Amino acid sequence: MVAIVKERREPGLTLKRVPVPRELGPHDVLVKVKRASICGTDLHIYDWDKWSQERIRPPQIGGHEFTGEVVDIGGEVSSVSVGDSVVSETHIPCQKCLQCKTGKMHICKDMEILGVHRDGVFAEYVRVPEVVLWKVDPSIPLEYASIMEPFGNAIHTALVTDLTGKNVLITGAGPIGVMAVAVAKVSGAAQVIVTEIKEFRKGLARKMGADTIIDPRKEDVPSRVRSITEENGADVFLEMSGNSTAFEQGLRSLTNGGVVSLLGVFPGDVSFDINGLFTFKGLTMYGITGRKMFETWQVATQLLKNKRIDLSPVVTHILPAERFEEGFDAMKKGISGKVVLEF
């Protein structure tokens, strides 16, 4: 089969032919990949940064976001059948630890991640354990199904608290940030404010329904937020940028008693006035990783199946797999939303 592989401990990926993973354990499923989308994590692996060097063991197939069709199942698989359309959770839980046993598989203590700890989905076929698969409604277009994993990040981040009538601030208008705009709007937010410096991404935020877009290079974010919230500040702050300055600006923009939902991954330690900006303001902060298994997937399915959210502005590139380099280049230049590869 054709696959996109991290062959060596250096920047770049290679398109090559590799064996189909046909040997299935009793709970394994073989899926024919129809669409796979590129994530920021894949870009880290492509660039071979410090994070990647510490985790990836070449040669290894990349990718973790995909949709496809079940073509073979292990002898004890019972939740999916050959012919089913499926999407997949990225986090592979051990199913034995305390977290897994108490309804928190998404933060399993001993989890593996597709495309990081084992071969990923940038290939014509992928072998995954039954536990991570979710049957997807065939009415959902393949391009949208392939990004249900990051869409789930947006849902999980936004819905840690009730957004009805709330002023919501989102820092960072990357693909997950702009999907969170739509989630906040459909969930009843009074207004959604976005901070972003890249013009292309400002455009995506507008298309997804942002009410106000602030360029932090040109305006003081806390002052502008207060001016459009009757001097109260934002009620809810969704941090999507992984930028420490944006994080501090968001905290300064929050009203006392506000809620912080933290998805952005920072490159290093973050320092801020925890007394003045957190404790004395009485804030509540949630750390977000992954998606709730499988509560978030059910919400994502219903929003897409019933056309409550349109993801078409987010999917900016659909490319055949052999043109994957174009997709990574667009991401590096900041001129893309989600890049979807066809296998």
Q: Which residues are catalytic?
A: 41, 44
At residue 115, what are phi and psi to the nearest 5 degrees? 75, -5
Contact 146, 174 (CB under 8 A): no
* Residue 223 amino acid letter: S
Residue bearing tokens 């900041």: 334
Q: Which one, of 303, 257, 252, 261, lies nearest residue 282 by Cα?
A: 257
Contact 5, 60 (CB under 8 A): yes
For 76, other C-beta atoms within 10 Å of its C-beta total 10
Tokens of 141: 């277009």
Tokens of 80: 């999916």
State the alpha helices, DSSP H only, in 36-146. 40-47, 50-55, 98-101, 142-145
* Residue 300 amino acid letter: A
Q: Which one, of 334, 294, 332, 331, lies nearest residue 37 by Cα?
A: 331
How far is 245 from 268, CA to CA, in rounded Å?
Answer: 13
Contact 339, 63 (CB under 8 A): no
